[in-house]
Structures are given as structure tokens and as C-alpha cells.
A and B are shown apart, each in its own frame.
Chain A
Amino acid sequence: MRTLALWGQRLRRDWVQLLLWTVGTAALAYAAYIGVDQSYGNEQDRVALLATVMANPVILLFRGLPSGAGDGAFITFLIFPWLAILASFMSSFLAVRHTRTEEETGRMELVSATPASRWRPAAATILHGTAANLVLAVLTALAFLAVGLPADGAWLVGIAAGAVGLVFLGVGLVAAQLMRTSRGANSVSVAVLITTFLLAGIGNAAGTPSDDLQSMQSSWLTWLSPFGWGENTRAFDQNDWPPVALCAGAAVLLVAAALVLQAVRDVGASLVPERHGRTDAGPLLSSTTGLVWRLTYPSIIGWAIAGILAGLLATSLSSVVEQMGGDNPAVAKVLESISGEGDLAQGVLVTFFVMLGIFASCAAVQTVARARQEEAHGTAEIVLAQPVPRVRWLADFVVVGFVAVLVVVASGIAGAAIGTAAAGAEASLVRDAVVSGAGQVLAASVFLVLTALVFVLVPRATIPAGWSLVMLAAIIGLFGPLFQFPDAVTDASPFSVAPIPIGDSVDWRGVWWLILAIALGAAGSLALMRRRELATGG
């Protein structure tokens, strides 16, 4: 009964969030079917695409396991890993949220001191996570049933996704036992998640294609990953259930391990002791610039990794698209509308570099938003009480933000160069990458100075305004050309007016507007900072 009461408390806290995760996953499944139905409605297109994929295994890193050109099997190939990854994120965050976060904040102590004993919160969390994955599985299956796919395959896809989610419920629970902070536990779970996701992809890419190039036999690497197990159910094709049992077995083992670990430690303690800080500061921590870098570099590295991937895909996919576009006029048309008059490979690259520009903007916004966090948290006060000029303090965040933009874009260009070399594409693509990258540096810098300006004028709005501006511009930049938004709207997005390569020359587009906006924003925010007081409080 007490376990049920604790479960009820978890449900009350989480139901909106879980509704979004589960309905969102089902909606993704539904949308994917509609999209495929439109783009690859006939079997010949699907056969051609699968054959292309087999020749370019990079794609398999981000898709599932090809299991034939039937519409159900094809859609599963495209979307299953993403359904499973949503279930996994939902589950591991849920596990950590109700265990380590509770312990870290001291709420667990409150509950454990009641007759509800130490293991009950864990039991309630397991129940809660299992129920969430069950709902996700059912809703996903219903989405596939709703579009008229066979019932056995539909249930298998849904349940396989939920089963992968269960494994990560276990991963999250174990990570929460190991690490002292919820941040640490979430980092461990996400690292495991990304590693196993890529493991499945690499294993598939290294697999053996069938003779008709319509399906792939995973290599052993794939079998080390829960995502690989889920994919090897081959829903709508062979409908294999045993890999689901593999997931369930792993989930049970992980949960049991978490319970055993919990039994041998104190409330609030962790099995991996928290790393000690340094007794003496290194030479980096001698200036506020060094401090800002020290506070923000982990997230900058994260965005840089995303940048490398975007660059890698930009050039390695552009060669694939060239082949594919020839076969599929619908795809070709979409790509052309994005790339303008340029050739197709260039167009794909430009599109991916808009993505890169978005990542760079995110890195910039996150860096400047840090200034606001410092202010609200109170650490800005002790820095500004030292002989540090106000303007210099803000300028440090802007400068490090600009470095972040350069690092992310440079990673993207490096990724593009590697992709070009790997795919044996034309070397001119690297030049295109440099041109597009330089353009996106300008676009991202606009968000950098805008966020700084908001920080000076309306401190409280810094974080929401910074992210909203990037998101809005990203939507316009990515989908504006596709949906043919009016020019006035499209041109409002820095991403869509940044200079791009066109043929062998450069289309400068709104380069002067961008430079003007950056100059005004930077000068304005720093000048106004002279008169700005410390604005503490949330």
C-alpha cells in the first residue's frame, strides 16, 4: 500500500511530462508513416533507397536495421531507433529524478525516516517507470494500427521500444546508485545511451547485406546494444520476439543490481565517491575570462561534437543525395528549393550548415545565459566586488561566446573535410563548407549580441528570450524555404540571410545587415552595461 502511495505521488508530479513523452513518441511514429507514405509511396522508390543505403553505411548510424522494402518494415527501419531513444531518455531521466535527485535534495531522507523504509521509493520508481513504458508501447502500437499496418508488427514495434526503455530505466537506477549527484547520474546514463545507440548503428553498418540489397544482417557489435536487440525484432518482416526477452532480461538484471547496491550503502552516499576539487587553482583561474571559460567549456565541447556530426553528415550525405535525388524527383525538388540554384551536393551542405549555425548559436546563447545564472545565483556579486569593471565582466562572456561560435563552426568544417575525404567527394565541397561556415559565424554572432543586449536591458528575460530567438530563427531558416514563407519573414532569420556558396562564387545575401546588427548589438550592450546595476534574484 505504501509503495502505491509513493507511486501516486510520482504520478502526480510527472503525469504531464510523461504524457508529452509518450504521446510525442506515438506522434513521431504516426508522422513518420505519413511522411514515408508521401515520399516513398511506391515500392520501387523504397527498393532504390535501401540499395543506396547499403552502399553508404554512414546513414545506418542514424537509422535502424534494413529488413526489406515492405511499407511497415521500411518505416520501422527509418524510425524505430528514434522511438526507442525517446523511450530511453524518458526512462533514464525518470529513474534518476525519483531516486538520486530526491536523495541529493534531502527529500529522500524525509521519506526514508517514515515507516516507508529505504527500498520502497525505489520500488515505487520501478513501478512508475514500467507503467510509463507500457503506456508508451501501447500508444506507439496504436499509432501504427491507426494507419492500417498489421497488428502483429504494430504491437511488436511498440513493445520493443518500451522494452528498450525498460533497459534504460535500469541503467538510470544503477547510475543513481553510483553517482553522488543527479547531474552525474544523468551524465552516466546519457553516455551509456549514446554509446549503445552508436554501437548498434556501427554494428549495422558493419553488417552483411543480403544479395538483393534489401536487408542487412547485423554484426556482433549490434548485439551488445539494447537498441540492436530492439532492431533485430524486424517488425513487419520476421516479427522476432526473442530479442524483446533479451531486453526484459537485461532490465531485470539492472534493476536487481540497483536494489542490491542500494542495500549496501547509506542514504545520501554513493558508490563512486565524488571527485575532490583542486586545493589550488590552476593558472587559468587568474582572470574573469579564465573563469568564464572554466564555467562554460563543457557545454561548448558538447556543441562542438554536435558540430562535427553535422559537418560529417553534410558532405558524406551530399554524395548520397546526389544519387538519390536523381531517382526521386520529389526529394530533389525539396533540396533544390533549399539550395536555390546551386547544385544538389552544395544544397545539402548548405542545409546542414544551417543546422551547424543553429548549434553555434545555441553555444553562444548558453554562454551568455551563464552571465545571468551567475547573477541570479549570487556568484556575480563576489566577482564584481573585486577590482573587475562591469563592462569587462560582460565582455568576457561575449568574447568566450564568440570563441564558442568559432569552435563549433570550425568543428563543423573539420567534420565536413573528413566527410569529403571519406566519401571521395569533390574537394570543392570543403571550400563550400568554409564559405557556409563563415556565414554561419555571422548568423550565430547576431544571437550572441542579442542575448547580451537582453541581459543588460531585461535581466530576467535573458534565458527564455535567448533560446526563443534561436528557435524561432531556426524554424524560419530550416522550413521557410520549404513551405515558401514570405520573403519578409524568411529574411528576418539571420540563418537565411547568411552568405552561402553558389556555384564557384559566393552569394553574399544580407552580409552587411548581419555585420551591422552584430556591431550595434555588441556596442549597445557593452555601453549600456556601464549604467547597469547588479540585478540579483530569480
Chain B
Amino acid sequence: MTGTTSVIRTAGLVKRYGSINALDGLDLEVGAGQIHGFLGPNGAGKSTTLRVLLGLARATSGEASVFGLHPWRDSVAIHRRVSYIPGDVSVWPNLGGGETIDLLSRLRGRRRDAAYRAEKKRLMEAFQFDPRKKGRAYSKGNRQKVALIAAFAVPADLYIFDEPTSGLDPLMEVMFRREVARVRADGATVLLSSHILSEVEQLCDRVSIIRLGKIIESGTLADLRHLTRTEVSFAVDGSGAASVSRVPGADDVAVDNGRVSFTIASDQVRGALPVLADLGVEGLRIVPPSLEELFLRHYGDDLRELENAEAGERAGSAR
């Protein structure tokens, strides 16, 4: 791992609900100053992990520490330094949006001074938030904004976001990314759980992928890309598919729509380039692997199962 000190660290973390292991030996490490993506489909254990880290749930076994403190016993000390936004934000139906923001900020010890008011105003304008409505009148996206504004209005050392942009429109997502960049520049650490790959790809410098309560892959995006293959293609022009055999490490060769395509391990791309130059290929396209592919590799089984189940259903209903 990197030499930085870790802000969050878990080892063999297990959380059992009845007979179900929501977390099944989770090892997660988030270094100071990182924007760490916590990636996984719904039900993989993302929210459970965050709740254990915040002391809202108690680990069945294993170790966890935040700032070197025990999440359950020292939860108050941890919370003083953490801003958390739950996945599905609920607000009080009879409290105004502005009131809720003030309440949450004050609970975190923020005084009602001019600086706070200016910051609140700035954020409300940035997120185009109307603070005068009652909680019951807010849509999901607006409830999310209440929590986001309250979280960003008070400086924290660690920001924990559980699917932060699930109710926001694209414009607000841009505002969100801008705010994350701002707190990071101030030296904060961010843990961002998501199942939206593009979001993680744009924001995060490190990623941990969780599946069935375990971290199955963790590292920088560059690290993870080594695990996947880059797709290379060029136009069929004299040099046919046969010439590809000269490229070291090429695989999955195919000719389709007048283009030759093959895949190659991402760390072998550099070695392939002179060969391709020699071949004098035209319309060369090199597509780096997306997180999407990485993801599909780990969840491919689930996906196939799902497809099979759907196919079965369709066959069933056709009968």
C-alpha cells in the first residue's frame, strides 16, 4: 500500500444479521487525503460498512478503526471529525429545509456566525436549494441537498458519502464534484460509496470493490487497469487479420464491419505500438479499459445468472 497514514482501516470485519453475513471478513484501508471509491452493487454491504465505521451498527467480529479510534466506543469523538450523508436522506416533515441545515451544523458544533451564514448561502446558491419549504415538500434530490449543504458547511477531516448523487441532476453532480475537490484541496479524506462507475472514475484516485461483504479488489485506478485488457482496433486495409499475430500478447482477434480488433493486456500496450506502426495500420483506435469492464469481470457471474433467470422467465411466460 502507499506510505500515507490510513484514516480508515478494517481487518476481517464481520457483521452478521441473523444468519446472513452482511460483511464477511472485510479488509478496507483508506489513506489520508485520498478520495476513495467504494464500489459495489446494491446489497454488497456498502451501507453496512459505513454504518459500522460510524458506530451506528456494531461489528460482530473483526477490527475497525477510524482515525485510530474505535468506531463503536469512540463514536462521538469520531463524529466530531466526520461528515456523513446517508444513501436515502430523510428530513423532518415539519421542519424547514434551512432549519434542518442549521440544526445539523449546530449539532456538529458550528457556531451561528457570519462566516457560517455566508458559507450556507454560498452552498444553497451553488446547489440551487430553496430553504423555505417544509421537509415534507422536498423531493429525494432536495432532501439530498439538505444533507450535502449541511455536510459541506462544516469543515471535516473525513467525508463519508453513501451514493451521494443518486437523486441529483447532472448539473448538481458537477457542483458536488466541485465541492469534493474543494474539501480535498483542504486536506480532507473522502470515502464515496457508489454503484455508478463513471462517478467513481471521475472523482476517485483509489477504488475498493466490495462483493458479498468482502473487498475483492483494491488499488489505484491505474493498478486496477492492469488487471484488464485494452481493446485495440484498426481498419482492414491490405494488412489482414493474419498480421495481428505479429503483435505480442494479442488475443480475441476478430474482423467485423471492416475493422480488425483484438485485446491486449494493458501493460503490454507500449510493446505493441512499434509493431502496429510497422504494419502501417490506419484508423487506429486504442480504448483503455473502463471500470465498467472491471466491474463486469467481478460481477459477470451475477449478470449471467440474472440473464439466465430472465430467459427462463420469458420461456415460462411464453409457454
Binding site for B on A (CB under 8 A): 181, 274-282, 285-288, 291, 294-295, 377-379, 381-390, 531, 533-534
Which residues does chain B contribute within 8 Å of A281, judged by CB atoms?
98-100, 102-103, 106
Which residue on chain A has the smallest CB distance to residue B117? A280
Q: Does B88 contact A (CB under 8 A)?
A: yes
**B56 CB–A CB distance under 8 Å:** yes
* Residue numbers in B under 8 Å from A279 (CB-CB): 96, 98-99, 131-132
Q: Which residues of chain A are within 8 angstroms of B134 by Cβ–Cβ distance?
A: 274-277
A282, closest chain B residue (CB): B99
Tell me the B90-145 residues at the A interface (CB within 8 Å): 90-92, 94-100, 102-104, 106-109, 117, 131-137
User: What are 25 A-B contacts defined by CB distance under 8 Å?
Assistant: A181-B136, A277-B132, A279-B96, A280-B98, A280-B99, A280-B117, A282-B99, A286-B103, A286-B106, A295-B92, A377-B90, A378-B89, A378-B90, A381-B56, A381-B90, A382-B90, A382-B104, A383-B107, A386-B107, A387-B77, A387-B109, A388-B76, A388-B107, A533-B57, A534-B56
Contact A534 B51 (CB under 8 A): yes
B41-79 contact mask (Cβ, 8 Å, vs A): 1 or 0: 000000000010010111000000000000000011101
In the A-B complex, list the 6 residue pairs whose CB atoms are closest, starting with the nearest: A277-B96, A378-B90, A281-B102, A386-B107, A279-B98, A281-B99
Contacts A274-B137, A533-B56; A387 near B76 (Cβ below 8 A): yes
A531 CA to B75 CA, complexed, in Å: 12
The answer to whether A277 touches B147 (Cβ under 8 A) is: no
Minimum CB–CB distance from A366 to chain B (whole Å) comes to: 15
Whole-angstrom CA separation of A223 from B56 in the bound complex:
59
Using Cβ atoms and an 8 Å threshold, which residues of chain B touch A282? 99
Chain B 132-184 interface residues, beta-carbon cutoff 8 Å to A: 132-137, 147
Q: Looking across the interface, which residue of chain B has its beta carbon closest to that of A290? A: B103
- A285–B99 touching, CB < 8 Å: yes
User: In this assembly, does B219 line the interface, its C-beta being within 8 Å of a C-beta of chain A?
Assistant: no
* Closest Cβ–Cβ distance, residue A497 to chain B (whole Å): 38
B79–A277 contact, CB under 8 A?
A: no
Known: A285-B102, A390-B75. 14 other contacts (CB 8 A): A279-B132, A281-B100, A282-B99, A295-B94, A378-B86, A381-B56, A385-B56, A385-B84, A386-B104, A387-B107, A388-B76, A533-B56, A534-B56, A534-B57
- B-chain residues with CB within 8 Å of residue A533 when the two chains form the complex: 56-58
**Interchain CB contact under 8 A, A277 and B56:** no
A280 to B96, alpha carbons, bound, how many Å?
Answer: 8
B79 touches A387 (CB 8 A): yes
Q: Which single residue of chain A is at the shortest CB-CB distance from B101?
A: A281
CB B148 to nearest CB in A, in angstroms, measures 12
Interface SS majority for chain A: loop
Q: Cα distance A377–B51 when bound, in Å?
A: 16
Asked whether B92 lies within 8 Å of A276 as measured between CB atoms, the reply is no
Q: How far is the CA of A388 from the CA of B135 in the complex (A)?
A: 22
Contacts of A389 on B, CB cut-off 8 Å? 75-76
Choose from A285, A378, A381 the contact partner of B103 (Cβ within 8 Å): A285
* B98 closest partner in A (C-beta): A279
In the assembled complex, B285 has its CB within 8 A of some CB on chain A = no
Residue B80 CB within 8 A of the other chain: yes
CB closest residue in chain A, given B88: A378
Given the complex of chains A and B, what is the CA–CA distance between A286 and B111 in angstroms?
10
Given A279-B98, A387-B80, A389-B76, also A381-B86 (CB < 8 A): yes
B86 contact set on A, CB distance < 8 A: 378, 381-382, 385
| B98 and A379 within 8 A (CB) | no
Residues of chain B at interface, number, CB under 8 A: 41
Residue of A181, A379, A381, A531 touching B92 (CB-CB under 8 A): A379
Q: Decide if A387 touches B108 in the complex (CB within 8 Å).
A: yes
Please measure, in the bound complex, the distance between the C-alpha atom of A286 and the C-alpha atom of B305, giving whole angstroms. 51
* A120 CA to B195 CA, complexed, in Å: 45
- Minimum Cβ distance to chain B for residue A501 (Å): 41
CB B141 to nearest CB in A, in angstroms, measures: 16
| A278 CB to nearest chain B CB (Å) | 5
Residues of A within 8 A of B94 (CB): 277, 295
> Which chain B residues border A277 with CB–CB below 8 Å?
94-99, 131-135
Which residues of the partner chain B approach A275 to less than 8 Å between Cβ atoms?
A: 134
| Most chain B beta-carbon contacts within 10 A, residue among A282, A285, A287, A390 | A285
Q: By the criterion CB–CB under 8 Å, are A280 and B102 in contact?
A: yes
Q: How far is the CA of A244 from the CA of B303 in the complex (A)?
A: 70
Q: With A and B bound together, what is the CA distance between A287 and B106 in angstroms? A: 7
* Distance of A369 from chain B, by nearest CB (Å): 16
Q: Tell me the bound Cα distance from A122 to B67 in angstroms.
A: 60
Per the bound structure, the CA–CA distance linking A531 and B89 in Å amounts to 25
User: Which one of A276, A280, A281 has the greatest number of beta carbons of chain B within 10 Å?
Assistant: A281
- Closest B-chain residue to A298, C-beta based? B94
Q: In whole angstroms, how far apart are the Cα atoms of A282 and B112 in the complex?
A: 10
> In the complex, which residues of chain A have a beta carbon less than 8 angstroms from the beta carbon of B102?
280-281, 285
Q: How far is the CA of A281 from the CA of B92 in the complex (A)?
A: 13
Complex CA gap A389/B91 in Å reads: 20
Say yes or no: B80 contacts A531, CB within 8 Å: no
Q: How far is the CA of A267 from the CA of B91 in the complex (A)?
A: 25
Residues on the B chain within 8 Å of A381, using CB: 56, 86, 90
Q: Which of A276, A279, A295, A390 has the most CB of B within 10 A?
A: A279
Q: Is A531's CB under 8 angstroms from B58's CB?
A: yes
Q: How far is the CA of A278 from the CA of B82 in the complex (A)?
A: 27
Complex Cα distance, B77 from A280, in Å, reads 27
Report which of B109, B133, B147 forms a contact with A382, defined as CB distance below 8 A. B147
Kindly provide the distance from the CB of A104 to the nearest chain B CB, expressed in whole angstroms: 9
A181 to B90, CA, bound (A): 19
Q: How far, in angstroms, from A386 to B76 measured CA to CA in the complex?
A: 7
Residue of A nearest to B84 (CB): A385
Whole-angstrom distance from the CB of B113 to the nearest CB of chain A?
A: 13
Q: How far is the CB of A537 from chain B (nearest CB, A)?
A: 11
A389 to B88, CA, bound (A): 22
Q: How far is the CB of A400 from chain B (nearest CB, A)?
A: 15
Interface contact B56-A384, CB-CB below 8 Å: yes
Closest CB in chain B relative to A204 CB, distance in Å: 37
Shortest C-beta distance, B162 to chain A (Å), equals 10
B55: shortest Cβ distance to chain A, in Å?
8
| Residues of chain A with a CB closer than 8 A to B88's CB | 378
A261 to B51, CA, bound (A): 49
Contact status B107-A276, CB under 8 Å: no
**A384: B residues at CB distance < 8 A:** 56
Known interface pairs A181-B136, A277-B134; A285-B90 also in contact (CB < 8 Å): no
With known contacts A277-B135, A279-B131, A281-B98, A379–B91 Cβ distance under 8 A: yes
Closest CB in chain B relative to A532 CB, distance in Å: 9
Whole-angstrom distance from the CB of B130 to the nearest CB of chain A?
A: 9
Nearest residue (CB) in B for A378 is B90
Q: Within 8 Å CB of A278, what residues of B?
A: 96, 98-99, 132
How far, in whole Å, are A426 and B91 apart by their CA atoms in the complex?
Answer: 52
B224-267: which have CB < 8 Å to A?
Answer: none
Query: Are A294 and B98 in contact, with the CB atoms below 8 A?
Result: no
Residues of A within 8 A of B132 (CB): 276-279
Cβ of B136: which chain A residues have Cβ within 8 Å of it? 181
Query: A276 to B108, Cβ gap below 8 A?
Result: no
A-side contacts of B77, CB under 8 Å: 387
What are the residues of chain B within 8 A of A388 when measuring CB–CB? 76, 79, 107
Who on chain B is nearest to A534 by CB?
B56
Q: Which residues of B contact A274 (CB under 8 A)?
A: 134, 137
Cα distance A277–B138 in the bound complex, in angstroms: 12
A381 to B87, CA, bound (A): 11
